[in-house]
Amino acid sequence: MIPKKGLSAEQLDERRAQYEEVQGEVDKIDDGLGSVARSPVARSLTTPSPGGGRSGTVRELKGSLTYDGAYQHTDESKAFVKEAAIAQERQDLQLESIERGVNTLKELGMAMGDEVERHDGVIDEIETKMDVVTREIQSNNMKLKVVLTQVRSSRKFFIDLILICILLAVGLYIYNMFS
């Protein structure tokens, strides 16, 4: 153990004794591992390494227990395995529910994509027709402008002719008044 700041030697010895006592009690507990529990791999999982962490891995322990028949189930371990299986079934059901939701979203996305592609074609067709109509309107505007110019110029001629006649009539009236 690493000495703590401010601990006396008595307190440090007392804590070491408590640690060893707890370690002894833990070792007495039957965990169903039999001789494997006393193996260096299993010991390394419970004994602190010099660096402060734990040496060995749970994978090493699981690998040593996997198919060699060394593990004997206790009632507690059977209950734990049963509880883990139930939890895994619940997780599987939830994952299936999520999968169904994702598949539904995928189908909706695909349908929306198809609809967008269909609308894209319709919009392109409308845009093409609008270009044609715009050109026809511009052409008709030009023709209308030419027609209006022609009508206005002939109308100006008639207005000018009428105004000249009125002026001659007024001039003749004034001439007759003074003569």
127-170 pLDDT, tens digit each: 999 999 999 999 999 999 888 887 767 667 778 888 899 999 99
pLDDT of 53 over the 90 cut: no
pLDDT above 70 for 9: yes
Share of residues in the chain with pLDDT > 70 (%): 72
Contact 104, 75 (CB under 8 A): no
Give the per-residue pLDDT at 6: 73
pLDDT at 27: 80
Rg (CA), the chain: 51
Residues 164/170, Cβ–Cβ less than 8 Å: no
Task: Locate all alpha helices (DSSP H) within the chain, ordered by sequence.
Answer: 9-28, 40-46, 58-65, 75-178
Which tokens is 67 given?
């198919």
Q: Is the pLDDT of residue 42 over 60?
A: no
> Residue 3: what pLDDT?
52
The reply to whether the predicted model has a pTM over 0.85 is no
Q: Which pLDDT belongs to residue 73? A: 77
Average pLDDT over every residue of 96-119:
93
pLDDT over threshold 60, residue 1: no
